[in-house]
A and B are shown apart, each in its own frame.
Chain A
Amino acid sequence: MGEVIVITSGKGGVGKTTTTANIGTALAKLNHKVVLVDTDIGLRNLDVVLGLENRIVYDIVDVVKGNCRLNQALIKDKRLEGLCLLPAAQTKDKNAISIEEIKKLTNELSEIFDYVIVDCPAGIEQGFKNAIAGADRAIVVATPEVSSVRDADRIIGLLEANEIKETRLIINRLRPQMVKQGDMMDIDDILDILSIKLIGVIPEDEFIIVSTNRGEPAVNNPESMAGKAYLNTARRITGEEDVPFLDLEVVESFMDKILKIFKK
């Protein structure tokens, strides 16, 4: 029986879809069977980030409504054997699926795959409630900005209220140089405010834009700092302990701090 993990944030544009694509790809690289589920109905994007947009025939709504079999809607990744995508519908709205339907779907998927990674839409309305309905665990993505951390706090509260048993944080788009200058909140600041455990820190990386342009997740490029950080995050998700942290080089003492946080 696989695990269902929802990737959420509250605020839009902090990197949920990029994170879903990269973590999914990284888990598949680690030889797990992974399905990525895009629940952002009406604003489908995970397909383009993965470069699979031309292969879509059926979508999540078709599966739930019985217009096709689950197998017909699952799209196999170009590069990785164990990676599949279940795309969102583009022409329908977020009420097209009910909480019961998504629970049944994620449950079915977890019988086939080791990891079911659910990409959640922004906001806290029906789309969010649907996305978290079948989740065993949640990963909250936040950037080191006031608005993002505030929304993350709200989301963490809602996840607790919905009895998601384990919620972890990914701090995305961190700029070590700005942290050093005192112009960006550091990891300690954010963990202190949110009182939640960290599972990954992703540095700001221009390569993410290049990889999205190409439709190839950054994890596939050994040169990408963000890609490496996502790979490490995926290893932590699988339960691997003492995964080393990237030396972001720019600020060494800063990385030492991260190590300390994880050793606590």
Chain B
Amino acid sequence: MGFFDFFSKNKKNTGSKNIAKDRLKLVLVHDRASMSPEVMEALRKELIQVISKYVDVDSNNIEVELNDNNNQATLVANIPINQIKRSRNV
């Protein structure tokens, strides 16, 4: 095997397009996981509205965060409850 054969063979094995594709996918998970502050604020407000229908929440201390761990974006909401409302159903 000649010197150049070695290189061309080596190149074929790596197939740099797969590296490109994998890196892109990873980068896009992070890119797409970021939300604008306006959207986050709107989401926070609506979450409070919905949850307030069922429980009395401490709306000043609600935290809503978007995390990305292990290539999986997750929405984490920390909502302190003041009091659970009395059930209206029998």
Contact = CB atoms under 8 A, between A and B. Distances in A.
B27 A193 contact: no
Interface string B16-49: 1110110111011001100000000000000000
B85 interface: no
Nearest to A151: B31
Contact of A153 (B11, B12, B15, B28): B28
Interface of chain A: mostly helix, strand, loop or mixed: helix
Contacts of A185: 17, 20-21
Contacts of A237: none
Contacts of B18: 182
Contacts of B23: 146
The interface centre, meaning the residue of A145, A157, A186, A189 with most chain B CB atoms within 10 A of its CB, is A189
A184 B17 CA distance: 5
Nearest to B8: A181
B15 A193 contact: no
A242 interface: no
Given A150-B27, A153-B28, A181 B20 contact: no
Which of B12, B16, B25, B32 has the most CB atoms of chain A within a 10 A radius of its CB?
B16
A182 B24 contact: no
A181 B8 CA distance: 10
Given A150-B31, A153-B31, A154-B31, A189 B21 contact: yes
B16 A146 contact: no
A146 B20 contact: yes
A41 interface: no
Contact of A193 (B11, B12, B16, B28): B28
A183 interface: yes
A154 B32 CA distance: 8
A149 B25 CA distance: 10
* Number of chain B interface residues as a range: 10 to 19
Nearest to B36: A161
B30 to A, nearest CB: 10
A194 to B, nearest CB: 9
A189 B28 CA distance: 14
Contacts of B17: 179, 182-186, 189
A184 B11 CA distance: 12
B31 A193 contact: no
Contacts of A145: 20
Contacts of B20: 145-146, 185
Contacts of A157: 32
B15 A183 contact: yes
Contacts of A146: 20, 23-24, 27
B12 to A, nearest CB: 7
A150 B16 contact: no
Given A186-B17, A189-B21, A193-B21, A181 B28 contact: no
Contacts of A184: 17
A182 B16 contact: yes
Given A153-B31, A183-B11, A193-B25, 6 more contacts: A146-B20, A146-B23, A146-B24, A150-B31, A182-B16, A183-B17
Q: What 3 pairs between A and B have smallest CB-CB spacing?
A: A182-B15, A183-B16, A185-B17
7 contacts: A146-B23, A150-B24, A150-B31, A157-B32, A183-B16, A183-B17, A184-B17
